[in-house]
Protein backbone atom coordinates (compact mmCIF):
# COMPACT_ATOMS: atom_id res chain seq x y z
CA UNK A 1 0.00 0.00 0.00
CA UNK A 2 1.18 3.51 -0.82
CA UNK A 3 0.18 6.53 1.22
CA UNK A 4 0.59 9.69 -0.84
CA UNK A 5 1.59 12.77 1.13
CA UNK A 6 -0.03 16.16 0.59
CA UNK A 7 3.27 17.50 -0.81
CA UNK A 8 2.84 15.20 -3.83
CA UNK A 9 -0.92 15.74 -4.23
CA UNK A 10 -0.38 19.51 -4.19
CA UNK A 11 2.25 19.26 -6.93
CA UNK A 12 -0.12 16.96 -8.85
CA UNK A 13 -3.08 19.35 -8.66
CA UNK A 14 -0.84 22.28 -9.64
CA UNK A 15 0.23 20.36 -12.73
CA UNK A 16 3.90 20.35 -11.71
CA UNK A 17 6.23 17.71 -13.10
CA UNK A 18 8.09 16.95 -9.88
CA UNK A 19 9.42 13.42 -9.45
CA UNK A 20 6.70 12.68 -6.90
CA UNK A 21 3.88 13.98 -9.10
CA UNK A 22 5.19 12.03 -12.09
CA UNK A 23 5.38 8.85 -10.02
CA UNK A 24 1.88 9.51 -8.68
CA UNK A 25 0.54 9.69 -12.24
CA UNK A 26 2.02 6.23 -12.82
CA UNK A 27 0.57 4.63 -9.69
CA UNK A 28 -2.92 6.18 -9.89
CA UNK A 29 -4.04 3.22 -11.99
CA UNK A 30 -3.24 0.85 -9.14
CA UNK A 31 -5.60 -0.07 -6.35
CA UNK A 32 -3.07 0.36 -3.58
CA UNK A 33 -3.12 4.17 -3.22
CA UNK A 34 -4.18 5.45 0.19
CA UNK A 35 -5.39 8.91 1.20
CA UNK A 36 -4.95 9.78 4.86
CA UNK A 37 -7.42 11.97 6.69
CA UNK A 38 -4.73 14.51 7.61
CA UNK A 39 -3.47 14.52 4.02
CA UNK A 40 -7.02 15.20 2.84
CA UNK A 41 -7.25 18.23 5.14
CA UNK A 42 -3.90 19.62 3.99
CA UNK A 43 -4.74 19.21 0.30
CA UNK A 44 -8.31 20.53 0.37
CA UNK A 45 -7.55 23.55 2.56
CA UNK A 46 -5.19 24.81 -0.14
CA UNK A 47 -7.94 25.35 -2.72
CA UNK A 48 -9.46 28.82 -2.89
CA UNK A 49 -12.13 27.88 -5.42
CA UNK A 50 -14.91 25.68 -4.00
CA UNK A 51 -15.52 23.94 -7.32
CA UNK A 52 -11.86 22.99 -7.67
CA UNK A 53 -11.88 21.74 -4.08
CA UNK A 54 -14.95 19.61 -4.84
CA UNK A 55 -13.28 18.10 -7.93
CA UNK A 56 -10.16 17.31 -5.88
CA UNK A 57 -12.26 15.83 -3.07
CA UNK A 58 -14.06 13.64 -5.60
CA UNK A 59 -10.78 12.36 -7.05
CA UNK A 60 -9.26 11.74 -3.61
CA UNK A 61 -12.46 9.98 -2.55
CA UNK A 62 -11.91 7.30 -5.19
CA UNK A 63 -9.02 5.86 -3.19
CA UNK A 64 -9.04 4.04 0.12
CA UNK A 65 -9.37 6.56 2.94
CA UNK A 66 -7.43 5.86 6.15
CA UNK A 67 -7.26 7.43 9.58
CA UNK A 68 -3.75 8.50 10.47
CA UNK A 69 -4.06 9.13 14.21
CA UNK A 70 -5.37 7.18 17.14
CA UNK A 71 -4.12 7.16 20.73
CA UNK A 72 -1.57 4.40 20.12
CA UNK A 73 -0.11 6.17 17.07
CA UNK A 74 -0.02 9.47 18.97
CA UNK A 75 2.06 7.86 21.72
CA UNK A 76 4.32 6.12 19.21
CA UNK A 77 4.84 9.38 17.29
CA UNK A 78 5.85 11.11 20.52
CA UNK A 79 8.34 8.30 21.19
CA UNK A 80 9.71 8.71 17.65
CA UNK A 81 10.09 12.45 18.24
CA UNK A 82 12.02 11.88 21.47
CA UNK A 83 14.25 9.27 19.82
CA UNK A 84 15.09 11.64 16.97
CA UNK A 85 15.74 14.50 19.42
CA UNK A 86 18.28 12.30 21.22
CA UNK A 87 19.98 11.88 17.84
CA UNK A 88 20.04 15.65 17.38
CA UNK A 89 17.21 15.72 14.83
CA UNK A 90 14.15 17.93 15.19
CA UNK A 91 11.08 17.08 13.13
CA UNK A 92 9.49 20.41 12.23
CA UNK A 93 5.98 19.23 11.37
CA UNK A 94 3.87 17.17 13.74
CA UNK A 95 1.59 16.04 10.92
CA UNK A 96 4.58 14.63 9.02
CA UNK A 97 5.63 12.78 12.16
CA UNK A 98 2.13 11.31 12.57
CA UNK A 99 1.91 10.27 8.91
CA UNK A 100 5.34 8.65 9.02
CA UNK A 101 4.52 6.84 12.25
CA UNK A 102 1.33 5.36 10.76
CA UNK A 103 3.24 4.26 7.65
CA UNK A 104 5.97 2.64 9.76
CA UNK A 105 3.34 0.93 11.90
CA UNK A 106 1.41 -0.48 8.93
CA UNK A 107 4.41 -1.16 6.68
CA UNK A 108 3.03 1.21 4.04
CA UNK A 109 5.20 2.98 1.50
CA UNK A 110 5.14 6.78 1.55
CA UNK A 111 5.31 8.89 -1.60
CA UNK A 112 6.34 12.41 -0.64
CA UNK A 113 8.18 15.56 -1.65
CA UNK A 114 9.05 16.83 1.83
CA UNK A 115 12.48 16.82 3.46
CA UNK A 116 10.94 16.37 6.91
CA UNK A 117 10.51 12.68 6.16
CA UNK A 118 14.20 12.04 5.50
CA UNK A 119 15.28 11.53 9.15
CA UNK A 120 12.30 9.23 9.66
CA UNK A 121 13.48 7.15 6.73
CA UNK A 122 17.09 7.23 7.83
CA UNK A 123 16.64 6.53 11.54
CA UNK A 124 13.23 4.87 11.93
CA UNK A 125 12.86 2.74 8.81
CA UNK A 126 10.13 4.70 7.01
CA UNK A 127 9.64 3.08 3.59
CA UNK A 128 9.81 5.79 0.93
CA UNK A 129 8.69 5.20 -2.63
CA UNK A 130 11.08 6.44 -5.25
CA UNK A 131 14.21 6.23 -3.10
CATH code (residue 20): 3.40.50.1010
Nearest-angstrom CA–CA distance, 72 and 115 = 25
Global pTM value: 0.94
Nearest-angstrom CA–CA distance, 30 and 12 = 16
Number of domains in the chain: 1
Q: What are phi and psi of 66, to 5 degrees?
A: -135, 145
125: region left, alpha or beta (phi > 0 left; psi from -120 to 50 alpha): left
Predicted confidence pLDDT, tens digits, the chain (131 residues): 999 999 999 999 999 999 999 999 999 987 799 999 999 999 999 999 999 999 999 999 999 999 999 999 999 999 999 999 999 999 999 999 999 999 999 999 999 999 999 999 999 999 999 76
pLDDT of residue 69: 98
pLDDT of residue 111: 98
Domain that holds residue 83: 2-128
Cα-only R_g, the chain: 15
- Give, as one character, the DSSP assignment of residue 48: S
Nearest-angstrom CA–CA distance, 103 and 113 = 15
Amino acid sequence: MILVDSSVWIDFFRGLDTSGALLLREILRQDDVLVGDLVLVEVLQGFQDEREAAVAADLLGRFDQVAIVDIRIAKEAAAHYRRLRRLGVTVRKTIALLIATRCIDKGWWLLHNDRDYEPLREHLGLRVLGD
